[in-house]
Chains A and B, each alone.
Chain A
Amino acid sequence: MKLVSTRVTDGVAEVHMSDTDNKNALSRAFVEDLSAALIEAENDASARVVLLRGLDTVFCAGATKDMLRDFASGDLQPHEIRLAGAILDVSLPVIAAMEGHAVGGGLAIGLCADIVLMAKESRYGCNFVDLGFTPGMGTTRLLEHVLSPAVAHELLFTGELRRGSTFANNTGVNHVLSREEVLPKAQAVAERIAEKPRLVLETLKRTLSIRRRAAFEEARTQEALMHTISLSRPEVREDIEARYVE
């Protein structure tokens, strides 16, 4: 069974991350499925907008423990996971309906969207530093495109998992609603966008995403340098084993 599915209805391409067994954690299989689902959405000629959603309690949990172990052992380089870039590269507008929690790389995915919705009762944060290494997936630059740089940096330094309700004021999150209101609102925004001609949306998307795509590429380079330093800490494997949040 596919971990991420795509369904296009009236111009809205819903990309549904639904790996219930692993709470939408980023395993290699999940990353492959999500990348394929995004391409499938974009390749559907009737699609005008992509609505990215997860499970009601978990939008995306970030890397699996196995993947972190591979980072620590050097079997996998974090910058090889280009998932955030795959979302930024979608030629149509992307809406992230984050009903459930989004942590680390999972938050990065959501914040790559053009329009971001969060739930008051869910938690959002980047706990890379808790696991003993520096942040990746573009988070060092992507967070500050949605949240204020000050808030983004605080989240990156503290690893705090903050309730969606705390982002309701003075941040760039488009809508912070009760969990059950998130999907209907995202759907309504998507339907409104889907009325427009695809060529217009694609052209606008290319322009509006320039700064963020450039920021992501810069972040990847810087984060790769930081990872060569921080993942070489002798204690990093131990930290991952002791502090990973299941």
Chain B
Amino acid sequence: MERAEILAVVEKYIREVLDDEAPETIDPARSMKDYGINSLDIVEIVSHSMRELRIKIPRNELADITNIDGLVDVLVEAAASK
């Protein structure tokens, strides 16, 4: 799966949380928290994304991720090794 496709899935769920307050562009170099997304929102965004991409990564392996790009990298790697 292309990286861009995976990023699009993550961004879709970010926008779902932000709803009306979503900015025009979301910078993947930034952390979701910069956009006012709280820690449990992130849990649900990651869980929805993994389900749609049919990827399973244990929560404790996601603990050190600092920005959206970091999450997408982990998802890309997991999708490749599927």
Contact = CB atoms under 8 A, between A and B. Distances in A.
Nearest to B17: A163
A160 B59 contact: no
B63 A123 contact: no
Interface residues of A, number: 15
Contacts of A123: 38, 40-41, 44
Interface in A192-246: 241-246
Contact of B44 (A160, A243, A244): A160
B58 interface: yes
B58 A242 contact: yes
Contacts of B58: 242-243
A242 B56 CA distance: 11
B44 A161 contact: yes
Contact of A103 (B17, B40, B60, B63): B40
A103 B43 CA distance: 12
A151 to B, nearest CB: 16
Interface string A150-168: 0000000000110100000
Contacts of A57: 38
Contacts of B40: 101, 103, 122-123, 161, 245
Contacts of B60: 241-244
A144 interface: no
A244 B43 CA distance: 11
A244 B59 CA distance: 7
A121 interface: yes
A236 to B, nearest CB: 14
Interface of A: 57, 101, 103, 121-123, 160-161, 163, 241-246
8 nearest CB pairs, A to B: A242-B58, A123-B40, A243-B59, A161-B40, A101-B40, A245-B43, A242-B60, A161-B44
Interface of B: 17, 38-41, 43-44, 58-60, 63
Given A101-B40, A241-B60, A243-B58, 17 more contacts: A101-B38, A122-B38, A122-B40, A123-B40, A123-B44, A161-B40, A161-B43, A163-B17, A163-B41, A242-B58, A242-B59, A243-B59, A244-B59, A244-B60, A245-B39, A245-B59, A246-B63
